[in-house]
Amino acid sequence: MFIDIHSHLDLCKNIDVLIENSKRQNVKILTAGTDPKSNRKILELKKRFPNIEIAWGIYPTEALKLSNLEIDKEIEFIKKNKYNMLGIGEVGIDLKENSEETLEKQKENLKKFVNLAKELNIPVVIHSRYAEKQTIDFLESFNYNKIIMHCFSGNMKLVNRIINNKWFLSIPANVKHSEHFQKIIEITPIKQLFCETDSPFLHPDKLRDNEPANVIESYKKISEIKNLSLAEVEKIIEENYNRIFMKKR
């Protein structure tokens, strides 16, 4: 089984076709929420397609638009529906779309979701765009290792900190042409790697409308760089998935 641990099916077109393509390629899909509306939409998708798995969260930019009460209400929704999902995400810190002045508020919001992940003993998928060091510094204070750094764009010194913290790095399908993600594969132990598409974004061939079936490109690149067969990579990443996503079941 190939596993796409991070996608946004609610933003994709022709979802029925994408699901069918994934089934044909033997791809397991995890899809992430980005705000209260998105979280409910992917819950409805799971009812339609029981084989997909979901993670709930609030994207950092979206969280800044909500009051503390609204975020707390969403956390209560997640707790009440915890048996429908496998992880928390997409959450984190973003300093590309937001100014440095928002950093403390973003940390306050992220703290709520990391504590929720710890309480439920499930992984948390982290967004850290243009805030890679600040995010790592902050996450290290939680003493929690079920952390997956999604599409991590920081330098290799920071990647080594992630590795030393026993966290995970998720490799997007655009690794096919990204030297940065290829370098991450080189230095990261395979037992700390996952694969993702971030669909409908980050198409491996720089096209529009990526889809979960393309996660196989990430597996192929790991196979090439690690000098392992595709079957070996598939097996090890499935073991990683079972170790941190499925343990609670």
Q: What is the CATH number of the domain that holds 166?
A: 3.20.20.140
For residue 246, name the pLDDT band (cuts at 50, 70, 90).
Answer: confident
Specify burial of residue 237 (Cβ count, 10 A radius: 0-12, 13-18, 19+).
buried
Does 194 reside within a domain?
A: yes
**Average of per-residue pLDDT values in the chain:** 97
Residue 157 confidence (pLDDT) above 60:
yes
CA distances from 72 to 1, 112, 115, 195 (A): 36, 8, 12, 30
Q: Which pLDDT belongs to residue 130?
A: 97
The mean per-residue pLDDT over the stretch 20-40 comes to 98
pLDDT, tens digit, 9 for 90 and up, residues 80-102: 999 999 999 999 999 998 999 99
Nearest residue to 156 (alpha-carbon basis) of 195, 184, 128: 184
- Residues listed for the chain: 249
pLDDT, tens digit, 9 for 90 and up, residues 104-132: 999 999 999 999 999 999 999 999 999 99
Q: Which pLDDT belongs to residue 208?
A: 87
Does 15 reside within a domain?
A: yes
The 147-150 sheet, strands edge to edge: 2-7, 27-32, 53-56, 87-92, 124-127, 147-150, 168-172, 193-196
For residue 248, name the pLDDT band (cuts at 50, 70, 90).
Answer: low
Structurally, how many domains does the chain consist of? Answer: 1
Does 76 reside within a domain?
A: yes
Residue 249 confidence (pLDDT) above 50:
no
The mean per-residue pLDDT over the stretch 128-145 comes to 97
Does 11 reside within a domain?
A: yes
Is residue 20 within 8 A of residue 9, CB to CB? The reply is no
C-alpha–C-alpha distance, residues 47 and 34, integer Å = 18
pTM of the predicted model, to two decimals?
Answer: 0.96
Does 249 reside within a domain?
A: no
**Structural domain span for residue 163:** 2-244
Other CB atoms within 10 A of residue 122 CB: 20
